[in-house]
């Protein structure tokens, strides 16, 4: 579908991917007066709140043609949407992000090369491990390290900590000999992320306040916004994020994950070409949420103000909270959660609660970070979750 931009409200926006990120995108689009057409195989969280649902795979040519007829602008909520599908859509639609940016983010080796060589942003020392023979030539200085598959890993999947070449060989074989990258483990003070947005015409690039992230078993558990880091470190991370988005000629919302080292140096870890779990708190904490920003960027509207309105702590709610200590199913005490001042509950409409499955999140707001953390600890206690840091 050809259209003039900016694409005004009442238009239909295309969404590749139907998970919870897509659901929150659809909520933001609806508030601005847009309809959403989601492409995803089977029933999904986003389809429940979207005007149209194309029930098909991302590479289905008929489905892609249907998407082209429905909308002039398409976005993604899932980083592994095939870049080739975005290229096909781009013949008739604006895609935000573009296929070339998604392709780089889908391969950790390409991503590291881009971040370091093109964007000029520091990354961890690393080496390609494309065969078991490559392990023999690895520099000992890379150990201990993390061996990661170059593609499709997320939430701690497809990676292993290795301390020696022998451990690297065993891990590589356990991963089925898939192409990998070995990254040196660095002395971390904080894990952080920056949500950055770049406009359709490339004239605006804005960043949100730095988010401080804490993971458990490789899955994001808690995010504190603003991050508890020095202002100069925060400014450096935001500047790096802006540099990366501009170097990519990016359109839309992009998340850059950073390591803050013990000496306060900032190292880029990886990027996600979409809104991100660590940015959920922007719904309540910032003037403009990451999801509204994605709508604005893909339609050619001016980007929104990213000013922090209130400190916040976001807690991921996994399927584990539906089980008691004996492993019996239970209903979480949502009423008690909502009695806690500043608690904002978001459930994703998933019926099947499974351990480690992301079922929702709770953002807790307060006048200060310390107060938000204290309230978040109350939420965690009610739900039987790990206490926030």
Give Cα separations from 188 to 94, 231, 287 (angstroms).
39, 18, 31
Three-state DSSP at 139 gives coil
Q: What CA–CA distance (Å, rounded) separates 33 from 11? A: 8
pTM of the predicted protein model: 0.96
Query: Mean pLDDT throughout 53-71?
Result: 97
With respect to residue 5, please indicate whether it lies within any of the assigned structural domains.
no
- CATH code for the domain of 25: 3.40.50.20
- Cα dihedral across residues 137, 139, 140, 144: positive or negative: negative
- CATH code for the domain of 320: 3.30.470.20
Is residue 388 very low, low, confident or very high in pLDDT (cuts 50, 70, 90)? confident
With respect to residue 211, please indicate whether it lies within any of the assigned structural domains.
yes
**130 with 61, same domain?**
no
Give Cα separations from 182 to 151, 167, 297, 368 (angstroms).
13, 12, 35, 39
**165 with 199, same domain?**
no
Helices (H), the chain: 20-31, 61-70, 83-89, 99-105, 108-113, 132-136, 165-174, 231-247, 282-285, 290-299, 334-337, 369-383
**159 with 246, same domain?**
no
With respect to residue 119, please indicate whether it lies within any of the assigned structural domains.
no
- CATH code for the domain of 144: 3.30.1490.20
With respect to residue 255, please indicate whether it lies within any of the assigned structural domains.
yes
Give the phi and the psi of residue 129 in degrees, each rounded to 5.
Answer: -130, 90
Cα distance from N-terminal residue to C-terminal residue, the chain? 48
Is residue 363 very low, low, confident or very high in pLDDT (cuts 50, 70, 90)? very high
Nearest to 356 by CA among 215, 156, 219: 219
Q: Has residue 155 got a pLDDT over 70?
A: no
With respect to residue 277, please indicate whether it lies within any of the assigned structural domains.
yes
Under 8 Å between Cβ of 160 and 153? no
**252 with 277, same domain?**
yes
**245 with 354, same domain?**
yes
**203 with 171, same domain?**
no
**297 with 348, same domain?**
yes
On average, the pLDDT of the chain sits at: 96
pLDDT in tens, 2-58: 788 999 999 999 999 999 999 999 999 999 999 999 999 999 999 999 999 999 999
Q: Has residue 239 got a pLDDT over 70?
A: yes
- Sequence-distant (6+) residues with CB within 8 A of 148 are 108, 158, 159, 180, 181, 182, 183
- Cα dihedral across residues 352, 353, 354, 360: positive or negative: positive
- Omega cis (within 30) before 178: no
Instruction: Give strand pairing partners of 160.
Output: 147
With respect to residue 169, please indicate whether it lies within any of the assigned structural domains.
yes
With respect to residue 7, please indicate whether it lies within any of the assigned structural domains.
no
Top pLDDT among 367 and 154 is at: 367
* Cα angle 245-105-185, degrees, rounded to a multiple of 5: 100
With respect to residue 18, please indicate whether it lies within any of the assigned structural domains.
yes
Write out the residue range of the structural domain in which residue 160 sits: 125-184
């Amino acid at each position: 579908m050809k259209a003039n931009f900016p694409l005004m409200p009442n238009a239909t926006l295309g969404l590749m991917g139907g998970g919870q990120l897509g659901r929150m995108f659809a909520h933001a689009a609806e508030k601005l007066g847009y309809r959403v057409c989601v492409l995803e195989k089977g029933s999904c969280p986003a389809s429940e709140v979207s005007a149209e649902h194309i029930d098909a795979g991302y590479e289905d040519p008929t489905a892609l043609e249907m998407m082209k007829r429905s909308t002039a602008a398409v976005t993604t909520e899932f980083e592994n949407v095939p870049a080739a599908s975005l290229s096909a859509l781009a013949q008739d639609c604006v895609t935000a992000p573009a296929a070339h940016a998604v392709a780089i983010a889908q391969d950790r080796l390409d991503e590291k090369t881009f971040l370091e060589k093109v964007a000029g942003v520091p990354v961890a020392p690393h080496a390609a491990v494309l065969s078991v023979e490559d392990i023999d030539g690895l520099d000992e200085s890379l150990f201990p390290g993390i061996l990661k598959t170059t593609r499709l890993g997320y939430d701690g999947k497809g990676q292993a900590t290795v301390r020696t070449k022998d451990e690297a060989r065993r891990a590589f074989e356990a991963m089925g000999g898939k192409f990998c990258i070995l990254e040196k483990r660095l002395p971390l003070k904080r894990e952080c992320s920056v949500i950055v947005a770049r406009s359709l015409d490339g004239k605006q690039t804005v960043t949100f306040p730095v988010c401080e992230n804490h993971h458990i078993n490789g899955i994001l558990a808690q995010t504190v916004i603003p991050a508890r880091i020095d202002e100069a470190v925060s400014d450096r991370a935001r500047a790096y994020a802006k540099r990366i988005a501009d170097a990519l000629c990016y359109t839309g919302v992009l998340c850059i994950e950073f390591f803050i080292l013990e000496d306060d140096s900032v190292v880029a870890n990886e990027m996600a070409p979409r809104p991100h779990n660590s940015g959920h708190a922007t719904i309540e904490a910032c003037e403009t949420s990451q999801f509204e920003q994605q709508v604005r960027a893909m339609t050619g509207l001016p980007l929104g103000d990213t000013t922090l309105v209130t400190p916040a702590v976001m807690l991921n709610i996994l399927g584990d909270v539906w089980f008691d200590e004996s492993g019996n199913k239970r209903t979480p005490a949502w009423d008690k959660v909502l009695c806690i001042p500043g608690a904002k509950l978001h459930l994703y409409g998933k019926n099947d609660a499974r351990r480690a499955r992301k079922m929702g999140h709770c953002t807790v707001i307060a006048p200060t970070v310390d107060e938000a953390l204290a309230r978040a600890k109350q939420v965690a206690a009610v739900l039987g979750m790990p206490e926030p840091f």
